[in-house]
Amino acid sequence: MVKVGTSERPDWPLAVVVGAGGMGMAVARRLGQSHRILLADRNLDHATGMAEAMRNDGYDAQAVACDVTDQAQVDALAAAARQAGNIRTLANVVGLSPSMGDFRTVIAVNIVGATRIAQAFLPIMESGGCAIYISSMAGHMKPLSPEVQALLDAPLEEGMIDRLEQLVGAEETNSSNAYLLSKASLNRMCKRRAKEWGRRGVRIVSLSPGLIATPMGALEFEKQPMKYNLLAATPIEREGTMLEIANVVEFLASDKASFISGTDILVDGGLTGTLQHGDKA
């Protein structure tokens, strides 16, 4: 029975949003127009505050702690989602940019953590649902060597990050390279797992934003001024907004995208194509 004075919607499907930063909250609020929201973040106090603010604005939202690098916390998140029931959408928004961690930490969050989430949620997603992984246009910038690809294709193997560090060498063991590798691997993961997810009637896609106006993006402009060159090269001639990313997430989660799986959706204002093919005008 629905409690009087609340916005609880037990008849609605559940969306699990992992990551309660700027982009995560834009996604949560958009999906919250048609889903109950389970909001997960490493910082439980922050997630709890964000979920309360959503409830005050009329959403059905709850919070749970989850550090995606901790298997026990990922399992606890999956258990909470299973208890809530009818898991229609998974939006994995959590991720570290180069200025937010070292090589090991970026790899651990962006691809090891992402894989833990995928592994935990595949068995409990409802048929007809969709998992959407927020990646980056950076995943299109550096092809993976066969040796690196083989390691990143098995991110949960013990010692993977140690072997990856040895393979790429000291000069390449930096957070910027980790970001490129992790996002390329994340895009590849969604393609490789499409058949497995499809057997359960569930879709899996990655979404690669370009330059988006977020707190994380602002930090990268501050730490890496060369990003202004990328902004100048963007054909749309501006940053994207978090709401524009939420638009695409909403579409991918809907039945209108029911034949889209195992692919990456670039939302970058045309920047990747310009960088790869030049200005042909």
Q: Which residues contact 108 (CB under 8 A, 6 or more apart)?
A: 69, 161
Tokens of residue 147, six digits: 């040796």
Among the listed residues 198, 27, 191, 79, the one whose alpha carbon sits nearest the alpha carbon of residue 128: 198
SS3 240: strand
Q: Is the pLDDT of residue 108 over 80?
A: yes
Q: Could you tell me the pTM of the whole model? A: 0.95
Q: Is the pLDDT of residue 279 over 70?
A: no
| Average pLDDT over all residues of the chain | 95
Among the listed residues 27, 15, 18, the one whose alpha carbon sits nearest the alpha carbon of residue 209: 27
pLDDT band per the 50, 70, 90 thresholds, residue 12: very high
pLDDT band per the 50, 70, 90 thresholds, residue 107: very high
Give the per-residue pLDDT at 27. 98
Is residue 18 within 8 A of residue 69, CB to CB? The reply is no
**C-alpha count within 13 angstroms, C-beta hemisphere, residue 88:** 17
Is residue 86 within 8 A of residue 35, CB to CB? The reply is no
Give the per-residue pLDDT at 225. 82
pLDDT band per the 50, 70, 90 thresholds, residue 1: low
SS3 129: coil
**What is the average per-residue pLDDT within 262-267?**
98
Owner of token pair 């953590």 = 113
Q: Which residues contact 249 (CB under 8 A, 6 or more apart)?
A: 27, 30, 31, 91, 132, 134, 207
Give the per-residue pLDDT at 281. 52
pLDDT band per the 50, 70, 90 thresholds, residue 46: very high
Among the listed residues 97, 95, 98, the one whose alpha carbon sits nearest the alpha carbon of residue 111: 95
Q: What is the pLDDT of residues 83-103, one digit of tens each?
A: 999 999 999 999 999 989 999
Give the per-residue pLDDT at 6. 85
Q: What is the pLDDT of residues 29-40, one digit of tens each?
A: 999 999 999 999
Q: Is the pLDDT of residue 203 over 90?
A: yes
Is residue 40 within 8 A of residue 61, CB to CB? The reply is no
Phi/psi of residue 50, nearest 5 degrees? -65, -40
**What is the average per-residue pLDDT within 132-158?**
95
pLDDT band per the 50, 70, 90 thresholds, residue 215: confident
pLDDT band per the 50, 70, 90 thresholds, residue 125: very high
Is residue 44 within 8 A of residue 117, CB to CB? The reply is no
